[in-house]
Structure formats: structure tokens, C-alpha cells
Amino acid sequence: MEQSLFTANNVWMMICTALVFFMHLGFSLLEAGLTRQKNTINILFKNLFIICGGLLVYYVIGFGLMYPGEFNGFFGFAGFGIESPENGNLVTYADGGYTYWTDFLFQGMFAATAATIVSGAVAERIKIHAFMLFSIIYLAFVYPIVGSWQWGGGFLSTLGDYFGQEGGFYDFAGSTLVHSVGGWAALMVIVVLGARMGKFDSDGKSKAIPGHNIPIATTGVLILWLGWFGFNGGSVLSADPALTSLVLVTTSMSAAAGGFGAFVVSAIKFKNFDVTMFMNGILGGLVGITAGADLMSPLESIVIGLISGALVVFAVSWIDKLKLDDPVGAVAVHLFCGIWGTMAVGIFGDKAGLQQLLYQFIGVFIIGIFCSVFAYAIVKIIDLTMGVRVGKSEEVEGLDIHEHGMDAYADFGLNDH
Amino acid sequence: MKKVEAIIRKSKFDEVKKALHEIKVNFFSYWDVTGVGNEKQGHVYRGVAYSTTDIQRRYLVIVVSDNYLDKTLNTLMSTARTGDVGDGKIFVSDVTEAIRIRTGETGTPAIS
């Protein structure tokens, strides 16, 4: 490969890294907008913590666990910290797609994304210490170990061996490896945490707790869509012209169809044009296409997106019916659409087939069990030792003033719904 | 002198103000208030229907001489009304004294 092509590949991968970094702004704004004014500092603090803590943890242990090199397929560790191999910045590393440094930072941004999914679901009631501890442990072990099973060359990537066949589980950019991993954790933590005060009345009926800044949340969603060009586009792992541009098309088509599916279904189901469902639908479409963004035709990506969007609306009401409280719809978007998108690889696109569908199911199932058990254990231990939920008065008056001693809008007295 | 307090829809404010100016009621104060009442504002958020008890209205305080009272009330009634629940209320009370701070004038001359 020519040096100029290597340079072009690496530049594209660094742009994608920056775009994935930008997604953290999207998550911050979305979560802040869909929650109440009195908890805004807390949300922003958690999001800053995730990107900083996530990168540091990924440096110390995550990268070594996720890409252990030659290993038994289940658990391996390349060592603490990062150190460029001899050819780390040469064209021979990773087929000239990117350098070792780009590799680390791109993957590090991904890791932080998985943890940030939890932040929105647990908003407005989790102790800040408990959240920080949980996300660090989860990011240090669960995310990279699961990642090593597939992207690190572990047993899921060669699942076919167990059936005497070629191939294995497929997850292009992380519908399962990133989004479901975050989604399972979010689900387990909200099970332990319980619903926010006032979310369900004494008859168990769900009540609305509207977010305080819908324009900010909308900004966040559009930023996330932009960031997804890096998330999926970068997962090509080079600047391959045909593949990167196809991936950007399928990603956008699915996002558009997802938004469409969600607002139409929610308009039929609830008789209103709910912009927050529209937002979740766009994100659902993005999560849904992530597993097979490089395999689908534009039409197939539209179908995947439409189903993702519709699924989000049903999942949001279903989670409500289970008396679970997810203020931003993180479980509906990242877990439900993550699973759907991963299964869709066996239904649509270049790899479609019964055998592939089985691989996809096995991957989803094993990762689901592993993440849930691990997440539940961590949050339960934290709950029994230091407590995971804030006190009543803190919750009523807001986490900002109690956990942080700050106001997000010091000069404004806004209405408190 | 009478004090007329009117709680009206914000959307009707400009119309009311213009009509009051037309009958030469040139001075009054107002502020935005939040209240509760019979009006139910239907909302749906993420599939859950709810109605907010917060009703946003504008509160006008107009002090007029006795012979302006009927005109003022008629104007308010004709301009602030839509016919739907939530048009607001008017309260009338006696005012014992009015003083213009700059000149020291008292009574009706102080408010005209």
C-alpha cells in the first residue's frame, strides 16, 4: 500500500474518532434536556466523568483486555497501559487502515459511549459516588471482555467452529457490543434503583415527568446522528471509498426511517406528535443499523430503521408497564434496538440466513447473560455497602443542590413541573 | 375611585391594552401570574397523558375614577372574552386615596 493511501486512511479514522468524541456532547444535551432542571448539573457532571474516566480506564486496562492479541477466545490480557508495537505507526499495522495511536483513541471513545448509556437511564435519583464506581468497574471489565470475544478475535467471532462451519457472530459497529452492553447495564441498574418519586402514583399508574429543555435535547439527537457517521463510518477501519460511503448512506437512511416509524406509531397509539418519541426513534434507527451498516442495501436499512422506530415506541410503554423508570428511553433505544439490529443481520443483507441468525442469537444471548449478571452484581454490592439511591429530600429538591451544591441556571427561576 | 383587577389570557393582552387606550385608560400595571383553575390543559408526554395545573395568565391592575368604571369593565368584557373556559376574572374594589408622587396631587387628578 502506498504511504499516501495509508495517510488518507488514518486521517479518516482520526476524523471518525473526533466524531465519536462529539457524540458525548450529544448524549449530554439529550439527557440534560429530557430530565428536570434541578438535576442538570448532575447529568452534565456524569457525562464529563464518563468521557474522562472512560478514557483513563481504557488506557490503564481496557485496551489490553479488549485486544489481547493471541488468546484463548474467552479471556486474555495484553498488559497494563498502551505501548505502540514496532510497526504501530507503519503501513503494516492493521493493513494500513490506521496507526496504533488512532486505534487506541478510536476504541477508547467507543468504550466511553457504552457507559454513557447508563447515565441517562439512572438520571435524577442515583448517588453520584455510586454511579462513578459502577461505571468505572463496568468499563474496566465488562465492556472490554465482551469486546474481546468479537472484535478482539475471541470465540464469538469464530462461532462457526463450534458447528463445523465458516463464519461467526457479526456486529459491525456495536449494536450489541456497545449499545446492548450499555443497555443491559442500564436495565439492571434501574431495576435495583427503582422509579423516581412521582413516576408512578399509588395505583401504579405511570405519570409524566416532562424534560425541562426540549430544544437542547433535540440538538443532542442531531449531534448524535452526526457523531454516528464516525461511529459507523470509522468501523470500516479504513477509508475504503465504497464501504465508507455505503455505511454513511445506510446509517442515515435507517436514522431517517427510525424517526419516521416512531413518530407515526406514537401518533397513532397516543394521538399526539411527540417530539421526544421522534428523537428516540432516530436514535433507535441509528442503533438498529449499527450491527449491519456495511451489509445492507439502502432499502434494507430503511426497513431496519422503520422497525427500530416502531419498536422504540412499544418498548417505552412496555418499560413503563413493568414499573421501570427510564427518563430518557435509553433501554428502549440501546437495548431493544441493539438486539433487533443484531438479529437483523441474520434476516437482511449479505449475511442473511438461518445459520447467521443462530450465530446472532447466540451472541446476543451470551452477552446479555454476562452483562446482566455482572451489572446486577456490581450494583447490588454497591447498594448494600454504600447505597445507590439518594435520600428523599435530595430527590425532591434536586441532586444539583445536594450532591453538587450548584445551580445549572443560577440566574433563572424556571417553572418546576 | 375604583380598582379593577383583571386576570386575562396572555394571548388577549395586546387587544385589551389597545382597547383600554382607545377609551383613554392610559395607565395600568400588569404582571404575569401562574394559577390553578377549572381549565384542564391536556398534555401527552412519551405516551402518558397528563394535565398541568399551572395556568399562565396576565394580571392587570387598573385604577379608574368612578365614572370610568363601566366603560372599563365593558371594554374588558368585550375584548378579553373568547367564550371558552379559562377567560379569567375581574374584581372591583374601592380605592380610598391616590397620590401622584411627582406633584403631590390627590384623588381623581392623580390618576388622570
pLDDT in tens, A45-70: 999 999 999 999 999 999 999 999 99
Q: Which of the residues A199, A201, A280, A415 would you substitute to probe the B interface, choosing the one with the greatest number of B C-beta atoms within 10 Å?
A: A415
pLDDT tens string B64-105 = 999 999 999 999 999 999 998 889 999 999 999 999 999 999
Q: Which of the residues A270, A271, A320, A323 would you substitute to probe the B interface, choosing the one with the greatest number of B C-beta atoms within 10 Å?
A: A270
User: How large is the average pLDDT for residues A390-416?
Assistant: 85
- Say whether residue A313 is in contact with chain B using an 8 A CB cutoff: yes
CATH classification of the domain holding A168: 1.10.3430.10
Q: Which residues of B are less than 8 Å from A270 in CB distance?
A: 44, 47, 49
Q: What is the pLDDT of residue B13?
A: 95
CB contact under 8 A, A415 and B34: yes
CB contact under 8 A, B47 and A320: yes
Q: Which residues of A are less than 8 Å from B48 in CB distance?
A: 206-208, 320
**Which backbone phi and psi does A125 adopt, to 5 degrees?**
-150, -5
Q: What is the pLDDT of residue A217?
A: 97
For A221-286, the DSSP string reads HHHHHHHHHHHHHGGGSS--HHHHHHHHHHHHHHHHHHHHHHHHHHHHHHSS--HHHHHHHHHHHH
Q: Which residues of B are less than 8 Å from A269 in CB distance?
A: 47
- pTM recorded for the entire structure: 0.89
Q: What is the pLDDT of residue A102?
A: 97
* CATH 3.40.50.280 is held by the domain B2-111: no
Considering only the beta carbons, identify the residue of B34, B47, B54 that sits closest to A270: B47
- What residue numbers bound the domain in which A276 lies? 3-155+164-404
- Say whether residue A271 is in contact with chain B using an 8 A CB cutoff: yes
State the Cα–Cα distance between residues B91 and B44, nearest whole angstrom: 34
pLDDT of A412 higher than 90:
no
Q: What is the DSSP letter of A39?
A: G
Cell of A311: 419498536
State the Cα–Cα distance between residues A118 and A113, nearest whole angstrom: 10
Q: What is the mean pLDDT of chain B?
A: 91
**What are the helix (H) ranges across chain B?**
13-22, 69-79, 108-111
Does the residue A413 lie in any domain?
A: no
Q: pLDDT-based confidence at B38, cuts 50/70/90?
A: confident
Q: What is the pLDDT of residue B36?
A: 81
pLDDT tens string A360-389 = 999 999 999 999 999 999 999 999 999 999
Residue A232's nearest CA partner among A186, A180, A175, A185 is A175
Cell of B11: 394571548
**Which backbone phi and psi does A66 adopt, to 5 degrees?**
-80, -35
Instruction: Report the residue of chain A nearest B45, measured CA to CA.
Output: A208
Q: Which residue has the cell 416512531?
A: A262
Question: Smallest CA–CA separation between A248 and chain B, in Å?
Answer: 29
CB contacts under 8 A, A 41-100 vs B, are none
- Say whether residue A213 is in contact with chain B using an 8 A CB cutoff: no
Does the residue A417 lie in any domain?
A: no
Amino acid letter at B79?
T
CB contact under 8 A, A207 and B50: yes
User: Which of the pair, A48 or B111, is modelled with greater confidence?
Assistant: A48
Does the residue A175 lie in any domain?
A: yes
State the Cα–Cα distance between residues A333 and A315, nearest whole angstrom: 8
Does the residue A56 lie in any domain?
A: yes
pLDDT tens string A224-280 = 999 999 999 999 999 999 999 999 999 999 999 999 999 999 999 999 999 999 999
Does the residue A415 lie in any domain?
A: no
Q: How many domains does chain A have?
A: 1
Q: What is the pLDDT of residue A413?
A: 62
Q: What is the mean pLDDT of chain A?
A: 95
